[in-house]
Amino acid sequence: MCLFASTTLSLLSVSLFSLLKPGQLDEADPSYSKPQPHWFHTLQVRRLTVQRGRSNSDPMGGKSFDQDFQWKTGLQFGTANSYLNLEKIGEGTYATVYKGISRINGHLVALKVIRMKTEEGVPFTAIREASLLKGLKHANIVLLHDIIHTKEALTFVFEYVQTDLAEYMKQHPGGLHSYNVRIFMFQLLRGLSYIHGRRILHRDLKPQNLLISYLGELKLADFGLARSKSIPCQTYSSEVVTLWYRPPDVLLGSTDYSTALDIWGAGCIFIEMLQGTPAFPGVADVFEQLQKIWAVKWFQPCEPQQFRNVWKRLSQLPYKTEDLAQQILMTIPRDRISAQDALQHPYFNTLPPPIMQLRDTVSVFKVPGVRLETEVKDIFSPSRRIRPSQMVPLAKCW
């Protein structure tokens, strides 16, 4: 098994390196031009008030690399010494994520270090994640730059994105600005439409797996549970998707699911962004999770106060908003709207028309007039903003 995993990974790495050549990023596209500088001022993290280029690739704040630091020459992709760890930013069951910087070109990166187990070799989920991500190039999907394979660990090098939707909502409780919800939801559905068109299921949609950049770009991440429907398979596991975002059919044990699985999760996230709390926050088990769903979907006056409050908030949404939520959160999978059809819903009519014609690799923030609005909490808490003088240049981290 170890030999098979190692051989598979080697073939995968060769295939990946043929696609990920130095400099072969979005910026290499002849049609690429930097978006108009616009500060993502609603994030309660480090903020700048100077102009910024592409959010994930300008750690020097627009300064010349030649003036501030002489980058190492001769370093290559696929080697551990080509990247420098700056700090730990997250840890999971089988991987640790670090913020890092490329010593090849100075781009900020996220290093997902997967610990190798001597008995088992490379985790199969890691092989699956790499094999799927290497073929996905979209503005709303996190970009895999490189893979580093050593005896001790397998490291995925991703573009660095500053925070995730869960943290963003935590910093802005009570529900997000309605226009920002529309922008985030459009990007989420856009990313889902792309992977669903390639017969790929994410299978783990939740706010923690939706990255948010300073500009407001939303990117699908963590494809460890993702599966390709193009690969013949009798059934899938029903133990997928975090409980709060798992659809009722899968909660009941269904293993014959398709893209509607992800659509339900997107609907739960939609409601969570609007009302500021999870739509169906089950705690104990699957049965309780189903109870919470039925309590809202088939509301009765005798239900507990918490369910009456949820139903009241949903019923007070504007018509187009409520209609989209209803079409996404249909109980029967085949009745749920597809991601592609959802993008055409009247709910998005207030967005500039050119946003519907973008190429896959182009960010929605390149469309004139598309920008995030200031969240209510930021309007009334201007003192929380960090002044430029408080910022530590990243060059000093070397």
Summarize pLDDT for 285-342 with one digit per residue, the tens. 888 888 888 877 654 444 444 444 555 555 567 779 989 999 999 989 999 999 999 9
* 125 and 174 together in one domain: no
* 310 and 202 together in one domain: yes
* 118 and 230 together in one domain: no
* 167 and 310 together in one domain: yes
CB of 278 closer than 8 Å to CB of 270: no
Does 392 map to a domain? no
Does 82 map to a domain? yes
In this prediction, residue 283 carries a pLDDT of 76
In this prediction, residue 274 carries a pLDDT of 94
Does 237 map to a domain? yes
* 224 and 357 together in one domain: yes
Q: What is the mean pLDDT of residues 151-156?
A: 88
Q: Which residues are annotated as a binding site for ATP?
A: 112
Residue ending a domain, among 127, 160, 193, is 160
CB of 374 closer than 8 Å to CB of 385: no
d(CA 162, CA 181): 18
* 119 and 212 together in one domain: no
In this prediction, residue 216 carries a pLDDT of 96
In this prediction, residue 383 carries a pLDDT of 53
CATH of the domain at 319: 1.10.510.10
Does 14 map to a domain? no
- Active-site annotation holder among 146, 164, 204, 262: 204
Q: Which residues are annotated as a binding site?
A: 112
Asked if the model's pLDDT at residue 25 lies above 70, the reply is: no
**Mean pLDDT for the chain overall:** 76
Query: Which is higher by pLDDT, 378 or 146?
Result: 146
CB of 27 closer than 8 Å to CB of 54: yes
Nearest to 224 by CA among 317, 154, 314: 154
d(CA 391, CA 398): 16
**All residues at 6 or more sequence positions from 114 whose CB lies less than 8 Å from its CB, including other chains:** 94, 95, 122, 123, 126, 153, 154, 155, 156
In this prediction, residue 54 carries a pLDDT of 37
* 354 and 228 together in one domain: yes
Give me the residues paired with residue 144 across strands: 158
Half-sphere exposure of 88 (CA within 13 A, CB side): 6
Q: Which of 159-173, 274-288, 347-361 has the weakest average pLDDT?
A: 274-288
Does 362 map to a domain? yes
Q: What is the mean pLDDT of residues 4-23?
A: 43
User: What sign does the CA torsion over 201, 206, 207, 211 have?
Assistant: negative
Q: How does residue 378 score in pLDDT terms, banded at 50, 70 and 90?
A: confident
Catalytic residue at 204? yes
Does 393 map to a domain? no
In this prediction, residue 27 carries a pLDDT of 42
In this prediction, residue 118 carries a pLDDT of 61
Domain containing residue 143: 56-160
What total number of domains does the chain contain? 2
Residue ending a domain, among 133, 160, 187, is 160
Asked if the model's pLDDT at residue 379 lies above 50, the reply is: yes
This prediction has a pTM of: 0.74
Q: How does residue 381 score in pLDDT terms, banded at 50, 70 and 90?
A: low
d(CA 108, CA 175): 30
Asked if the model's pLDDT at residue 388 lies above 80, the reply is: no
Q: What is the mean pLDDT of residues 72-98?
A: 82
What's the pLDDT tens digit per position in 96-124? 999 999 988 888 999 999 887 766 677 77
What's the pLDDT tens digit per position in 185-242? 999 999 999 999 999 999 899 999 999 999 999 999 999 888 887 555 545 554 556 8
CATH of the domain at 137: 3.30.200.20
User: For a pLDDT cut of 70, what percent of the chain falls above it?
Assistant: 67
* 279 and 348 together in one domain: yes
Query: Which is higher by pLDDT, 376 or 4?
Result: 376
Does 290 map to a domain? yes
* 206 and 334 together in one domain: yes
Q: What is the mean pLDDT of residues 338-352?
A: 96
* 189 and 333 together in one domain: yes
* 195 and 290 together in one domain: yes
Asked if the model's pLDDT at residue 12 lies above 50, the reply is: no
* 241 and 145 together in one domain: no
